[in-house]
Structure 1
Amino acid sequence: MNPGHTKKVRVTTISAIVLLIAVLIISVGTGFASLTPAELFRTIFGQGTPKENLILFEFRLPRIFVAILAGMGLAVSGAILQSLTKNPLSDPGILGINAGAGLMVVVYIMFFTVESSSSLYILPLFALAGGGATAAIIYIMSYKKGEGVEPARLVLVGVGLAAALAGATLTLATRLDMENYAFMANWLAGRIWGDDWVFVVSLLPWIVVLLPLSLMKSNVLNMLNLNENVAIGTGVNAGRERIVLIIMAVALASASVAVSGGIAFVGLMAPHIARSLVGPRHQSFLPLAALIGAILLLAADTIGRVVLDPSGIPAGIIVTLIGAPYFMYLLARK
C-alpha cells in the first residue's frame, strides 16, 4: 500500500471516529429530557445533578452503546458476507439471517421471559441458532454443483426465505400474550430495546471477540474475494476458512439483532460506503465499515427518538427508509 493511500485511509478513519463522537454527543444531549453541552460535560466529570446522572448513565448511554456495538456487528457481518459471496447485495437482513434469528427469538419468549437476567445471555445463543440454520439452508439451496454459489440465486433464495420466516414469526407471535406480543412487534420493527447496562454486557463479548478475529482474517478475505484458486495456491484452506467466516458473520449479526431488534440494511450500506472511500483491501475497509455501521445505527436511533418523542420511531424503520432506495439503486446498477 503506497504512502498516499495509507494517509487517505488514516485520515478517513480518524474522520469517521470524530463523526461517531459527534453523533454520540448529539444523541446524549437530545430527547424528551435534553441535556445542554455544559450539563453533559459536567455530568460526565461527576458534577451532575441526580436527574442529569439518571438521564445520562441510566437512560441514554446504555442504549447508545448497544446501538454502536450492534451497528459495528451488522456492518462487519455484511462486509464478510459480501466478500465471501462476491455479491454486493449481501446483507444479514436481506439474506434472511436476521429473520431466522427473529424466529428463534419468538420461540424463546414463548417459553421463557425476556426480563430474567439469564435470558440476556441465552437469547443471543437462540438467535445464533436461528441465524445459523437459515444461513445453512440458503447456502445449500443456492449451491449448484460445478458452478458454486451464484450471486443472483443467493439473493433470490435469501429474500424468499426471509419472507417465509417473517410469516412464520408473525404466525407464532399471534399466540403470545399482549405484553410479549408488544415486545415482539417492537423487535420486528427494529426498535432498540436493550436500554440497560446488562444488555451492553451481554453483547460486548461477541463484538470484542469477533471483530478482532475478523480483522485477523483480512488476508484470507482478500484472497477469497479475488480468486479461490489463488487462495488455494497460497496455502489457504478455502473450504474451512469459508465455513469459519460464515459462522463469524452469522454470529455477529445474530448477537446484534438479538439485543437491538430486527434491523436490516446497515450490513449492506456500511461496507459499500467504506469500500468506496478506502478501496477493497479488508485491512483498510473493515474497521471503517464498523465505524460507519455504528454511525448509521446510532444516527437512525437518535432521529427516531427526536422525531416522535417520547414514543419515537424504531431505528429499523429509519434505516429502512434510507436503505431500501440504496438497495434498489445497487440492484439496478448491477
Structure 2
Amino acid sequence: MIQPAIIRRQRMLLALLFTLILITIIIGMGLGYASLSYNRLLPTLFGQGTFKEHFVLFTVRLPRIMITLLAGMALALSGSILQGVTRNDLADPGIIGINSGAGLAIAVFFLYVPIEVSSFALVIPLVGFAGAIVTAFLIYVLAYSRKTGLQPVRLVLIGVGFSMALSGIMIVVISSAERSKVDFIAKWLAGNIWGTDWPFIYAMLPWLIVLIPFVLYKARLLNLLGLSDSAAIGVGVSLERERRTFLITAVALAASAVSVTGGIAFIGLMAPHIAKALVGPRNQLFLPLATLLGGWLLLLADTIGRNMVDPDGIAAGIMVALIGAPYFMYLLLKK
C-alpha cells in the first residue's frame, strides 16, 4: 500500500511541474530572434494582435514549444520503460541505439525516397518507428538466450554497440549526399528541433494520446518486471510477452519524438532518476512525474539554447548533452 503522504507529495510535485511548464512556455513565447512583448501575448492569443505578432506566436513559437514539450515527455517515458524492463538504471533510447536506428532510417528515407512535402510530416514518424523497431528487434535477439531468457545487462551493452555502429553507418550514408540534404541530417544529429510546424504536432499527438495512458495503466505490471525473472513468473506474469509489449511501446515513443526533434539523448536517462529520487521507485508514482519532467527539461534546454546565439541558437540536443553527459558519468561511477 502506498502511503498517503507520498501520494500527496506526488500531487504537489505534479502541480509544481505544471506551473514550471506554464512559466517556461510563457517565457519562451516572448523570447527569440523576433521579440514579442509579454503584454501583447494575451491579445495575440485571442486574435487581437498584429499580423507580425500573430505570425511570430502561432507560426514560429507555439509549434516549436509544443513539439519540444511533447517530445521530451515521450523520451522520458520511453527511458522509464527501458530502465524498468532491462533493470538497468543506465538504459535510455539514445544510449542503447534506438534513436540511432530511427535516425538512420529517416536519413536514408530523406536522402533517397522522393515524397511530397504535404505527406512528409505524417510519414516521418512511421519511418522512424520502422528503423527503431528493426534495431530494437536485432538488439533483443542478440541479448536473448534460450536458457536464461532476456539478459538485461547484455541488452544494454549490445545496444551501446549498435548505437556506435549505426552512427558510423550514418556518416557513410551522408558522405555521398547532396550538400543541402547533408545540412539537414547534420542538424538532426545535433538534436536541432526541426519539425516546428503544426502538421508535425498532429502527426505526433496520436502516438502520445494512445501510448501514455497505456503505459500508466500497466504501471503496476512494470513494477513486477523489475523483480527477478523467477519472482515475476511466480506471480503469474507472462514475462517475455510483457517485455516485448513494453519494448515496442518504448520504441514507438522514442521514434515519434526523435523523428521531429533529431538525435536527443539523456532526457530518458535523467527524468526517471530525478522522479524516483522525489517519490520513490514505484512506477505508478514516478511515471507521471518523469513524463512531465522530461517535457520540461527539453523545453527548458531548447528555450535557453535558441536564445544564446543569434539567429539559430544552440541545438537542444547539445544543451541537453552538456547536462546529461556529466550526469551519465555520475551514474556510471555510482553503479
- The aligned residue for residue 93 of structure 1 is 94
Equivalent residue, structure 1, for 2:184: 183
Quick check: 1:130 aligned with 2:112? no
Structure 1 equivalent of residue 140 of structure 2: 139
Q: C-alpha separation between the residues in 1 aligned to 2:221 and 2:269?
A: 21
Alpha carbons of structure 1 residues 17 and 178: separation in structure 2 relative to 1, 3 Å? same
1:114–1:289 distance in 2 versus 1, CA, 3 Å: farther
Report the equivalent of 1:80: 81
Return closer, same or farther for 1:207/1:151 CA change in 2, 3 Å cut-off: same
Q: CA deviation at 1:219?
A: 1.1
Amino acid aligned to 2:254: A
Q: Is the 8 A contact 1:81 1:249 kept in 2?
A: yes
- Residue 305 of structure 2 is matched in structure 1 by 304
Residue equivalent to 1:71: 72
Instruction: Give the stretch that moved more between structures: 229-238 or 182-191.
Output: 229-238
Q: What is the CA deviation profile of residues 283-306 of structure 1, one whole-angstrom value per residue up to 9, with x for unaligned ones?
A: 111111110100111111111110
Are the counterparts in 1 of residues 122 and 199 from structure 2 also a CA contact under 8 Å? no
Give the 3-state SS of the residue equivalent to 1:117 in structure 2.
Answer: helix
Inter-partner Cα distance in structure 2 for 1:231 and 1:150: 15
TM value normalised by structure 2:
0.96
1:220 corresponds to 2:201: no
Deviation at 1:125, TM superposition (A): 1.4
Asked if 1 retains the 8 angstrom alpha-carbon contact of 2:305 and 2:316, the reply is yes
CA RMSD, 1 decimal: 1.4
Give the distance between the partners of 1:165 and 1:278, measured in 2 at CA: 36
Structure 1, unmatched stretches of 5+, are: none
2:18 match: 17
Whole-angstrom distance in 2 between the partners of 1:125 and 1:57: 26
| Number of residue equivalences | 334
Paired letter, 1:238: L
Q: Write the letter of the residue equivalent to 1:188.
A: L
For 1:201-247, what per-residue CA distance to the aligned partner results, in whole angstroms no more than 9, with x for missing partners?
11111111111111111111011112333333333222111111100
Q: Deviations over 1:109-144 (max 9, x none)?
A: 122357612121221111111111111222222334
**In structure 1, C-alpha distance between the alignment counterparts of 2:237 and 2:142, rounded to whole Å:** 26
User: 2:312 is matched by which residue type in structure 1?
Assistant: S
Corresponding residue SS for 2:307: helix
> TM-score under structure 1 normalisation?
0.96
Tell me, in whole angstroms, the C-alpha distance in 1 between the residues paired with 2:153 and 2:246. 21
Secondary structure of residue in 2 paired with 1:195: coil
**Structure 2 residue runs without a partner (length 5+):** none
Preserved contact between residue 191 and residue 318 of structure 2 (Cα < 8 Å): yes
